[in-house]
């Protein structure tokens, strides 16, 4: 059995418990070069050249020309195969703390939370640190330290509030540690385990996804897809990227 299926089975047991979830137990985290075998076009190994060779079922958002509200996230790519949803982000890491993907689970821009993109409505998100910080005695961030592998917890917005549907460290995400690319930028790649997200969100067919980069004060510093301020003033919408599940 491949390791990710073993991890997925562990997480599925927790998720299947519904409202009676036990406290999450730490699970061994796959690292770059670990036992997980990727049979598709992308491997989560901290080497990004394989993304350039993907020509089918790939979605790419880049920072548009002109003034943008948040400019530190430069490139956001998505790809999916039978086992994983793959994510690639290239970004200016200055003051970075967290990356948060948002999911429009019903591919309906008029439903869900509509506060972050013009013309996108999302029902779920995941939150995970991508950089470590030194904290003071009150746990306020003091200085930016080192990149770390992304291990987000997954949430869904409901009428009762924001519900955690998959804690971090259950093996739902396999991520590389951000590494320098060019011109002071860093990038990381990650694979979201479909078996776990299918249980958490009931994913099927297509859904849409966007990414926001936050700083240590949880202020937005990057967002893709996005439109330039000039385009937004003219009414251009910011549709999120469409993931098509094979
Ligand atoms: Ca929606």
CB distance 187 to 181 below 8 Å? yes
176 CA → ligand 1 middle, Å: 29
When pLDDT is averaged across residues 225-245 and rounded to a whole number, the result is 96
Please write the tens of the pLDDT for every residue from 180-194: 999 999 999 999 999
2 CA → ligand 1 middle, Å: 34
Question: Among 234, 241, 243, which residue's Cα sits nearest to residue 198?
Answer: 243
Domain boundaries, the chain: 43-244
Can you tell me the distance from the alpha carbon of 14 to that of 170, in angstroms, rounded to the nearest whole number?
9
Q: Looking at domain 43-244, which of 1.10.287, 2.60.40, 1.10.3470, 1.25.40 is its CATH number?
A: 2.60.40
Q: Name beta bridge partners: 61.
A: 76
CA distances from 97 to 1, 87, 93, 172, 217 (A): 35, 18, 9, 20, 8
CB distance 103 to 208 below 8 Å? yes
Can you tell me the distance from the alpha carbon of 140 to that of 11, in angstroms, rounded to the nearest whole number?
31
The C-alpha angle with vertex 15 and arms to 33 and 224, in degrees rounded to 5, equals: 60
Can you tell me the distance from the alpha carbon of 120 to that of 102, in angstroms, rounded to the nearest whole number?
10
Q: Is 222 helix (H, G, I), strand (E, B) or coil?
A: strand
Please write the tens of the pLDDT for every residue from 151-183: 999 999 998 999 999 999 999 999 999 999 999
What's the gap between Cα 211 and its chain centre? Answer: 6
189 CA → ligand 1 middle, Å: 25
214 CA → ligand 1 middle, Å: 22
Please write the tens of the pLDDT for every residue from 26-60: 444 444 445 678 888 999 999 999 999 999 999 99
Question: Among 201, 210, 197, which residue's Cα sits nearest to residue 117?
Answer: 210
The helix/strand count (H/E) of the chain reads as 4, 15
103 CA → ligand 1 middle, Å: 8
Please write the tens of the pLDDT for every residue from 99-148: 999 999 998 999 999 999 999 999 999 999 999 999 999 988 899 999 99
117 CA → ligand 1 middle, Å: 12
CA distances from 115 to 65, 126, 203, 231 (A): 23, 16, 23, 18
Check residue 34 and give its pLDDT. Answer: 57
């Amino acid at each position: 059995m491949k390791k990710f299926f073993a991890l997925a089975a562990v997480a599925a047991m927790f998720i299947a418990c519904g409202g009676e979830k036990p406290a999450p137990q730490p699970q061994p985290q796959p690292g770059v070069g670990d036992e997980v075998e990727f049979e598709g076009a992308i491997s989560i190994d901290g080497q990004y050249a394989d993304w350039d060779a993907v020509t089918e079922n790939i979605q790419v958002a880049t920072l548009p020309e002109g003034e943008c509200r948040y400019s530190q996230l430069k490139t956001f790519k998505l790809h999916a195969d039978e086992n994983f949803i793959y994510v690639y982000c290239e970004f200016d890491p200055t003051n970075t703390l967290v990356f948060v993907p948002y999911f429009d689970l019903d591919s309906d821009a008029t439903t869900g939370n509509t506060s972050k993109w013009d013309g996108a409505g999302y029902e779920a998100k995941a939150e995970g640190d991508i950089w470590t910080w030194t904290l003071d005695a009150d746990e306020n961030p003091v200085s930016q330290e080192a990149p770390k592998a992304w291990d987000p917890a997954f949430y869904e917005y409901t009428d009762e509030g924001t519900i955690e549907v998959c804690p971090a460290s259950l093996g739902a995400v396999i991520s590389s540690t951000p590494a320098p690319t060019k011109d002071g930028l860093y990038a990381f790649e990650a694979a979201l385990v479909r078996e776990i997200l299918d249980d958490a969100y009931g994913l099927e067919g297509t859904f849409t996804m966007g990414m926001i980069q936050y700083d240590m004060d949880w202020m937005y510093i990057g967002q893709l897809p996005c439109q330039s301020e000039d385009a937004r003033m003219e009414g251009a919408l910011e549709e999120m990227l469409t993931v098509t599940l094979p």
